[in-house]
């Protein structure tokens, strides 16, 4: 049925670094006891059924999935929270939640645009309420024999729609974050934890953006 959908993610990760040779994947990974945090994260992603990291990308995965880190630690050093960004193949549950989040985000953007449009019309009318009542009566300015009016109820309705859309976005984002953490943590040792994650813009880079 084809490859799983690939999406740019940011993961929020913390770890106790006592037994690790730092965060960064080592060329000597697995040799003479060398273990890194990125090494166990790679193995966890490989273990996810129906997604995560494909075997094709396991070799040289840092480059192939555009892996970026907000910071790095040396041998034995801990991290309360490190942000990692990369292109992840989403397993079915995560893919459905990512799509729901994107749909909710699109709706919120539409609601925001509507608010901005009404605010601009109200400002153009000269009195902040469209120059008339909801039926278009009043003394609002007119050019070319026509005038667009905006009532306070129009603005209130659009604002309420935006607030409702934002609630849906937040809920969808939280559901995706919980799914990412739940799935990945089942494949990770107890001293490395994924606290959550989010879908990001394709251009997001944890090194530059955090």
The number of distinct structural domains making up the chain is 2
- The predicted structure's pLDDT at residue 66: 97
Residues 166, 189, single domain; the answer is: no
**Residue 67 has which token pair?**
């892996």
**Residue 70 has which token pair?**
């907000």
Band (pLDDT 50/70/90 cuts) for residue 127 is: low
Predicted structure pTM score: 0.83
In a domain, 209, yes or no: no
Residues 167, 181, single domain; the answer is: no
Give percent of the chain with pLDDT exceeding 70.
89
Residues 101, 163, single domain; the answer is: yes
Residues 112, 181, single domain; the answer is: no
Residues 33, 72, single domain; the answer is: yes
Distance CA 18, CA 127 (A): 65
DSSP secondary structure string for all residues of 25-84? --TTTTSTT---HHHHHHHHHHHSTTSBS-HHHHTTHHHHTT-EES----TT--EEEEEE
CATH number for the domain harbouring residue 86: 3.30.70.580
List, for residues 152-187, the tens digit of each pLDDT value.
899 999 999 999 999 999 999 999 999 999 999 999
Going across the sheet that includes 79-89, the strands are 68-69, 79-89, 6-15, 192-199
CB 89 within 8 A of CB 40: no
DSSP secondary structure string for all residues of 71-124? ----TT--EEEEEEEEEEEPPHHHHHHHHHHHHHHHHHHHHHHHHHHHHHHHHH
Please tell me what DSSP assigns to residue 13: E
């Amino acid at each position: 049925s084809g490859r799983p959908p690939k999406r740019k993610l940011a993961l929020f990760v913390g770890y106790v670094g006592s037994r690790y040779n730092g965060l960064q994947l080592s060329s000597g990974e697995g040799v003479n006891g060398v273990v890194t945090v990125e090494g166990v994260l790679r193995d966890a992603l490989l273990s996810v059924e129906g997604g995560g990291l494909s075997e094709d990308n396991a070799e040289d995965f840092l480059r192939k999935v555009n892996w970026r880190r907000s910071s790095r630690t040396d041998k034995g050093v801990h991290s309360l929270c490190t942000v990692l960004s990369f292109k992840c193949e989403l397993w079915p549950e995560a893919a459905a939640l990512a799509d729901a989040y994107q749909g909710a985000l699109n709706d919120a953007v539409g609601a925001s645009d509507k608010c901005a449009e009404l605010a601009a019309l109200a400002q153009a009318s000269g009195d902040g309420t469209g120059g008339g009542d909801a039926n278009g009566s009043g003394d609002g300015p007119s050019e070319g024999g026509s005038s667009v009016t905006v009532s306070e109820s129009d603005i209130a309705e659009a604002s309420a729609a935006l607030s409702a859309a934002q609630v849906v976005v937040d809920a969808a984002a939280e559901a995706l974050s919980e799914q990412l953490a739940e799935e990945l943590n089942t494949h990770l040792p107890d001293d490395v934890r994924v606290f959550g994650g989010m879908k990001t813009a394709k251009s997001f880079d944890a090194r530059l953006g955090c």
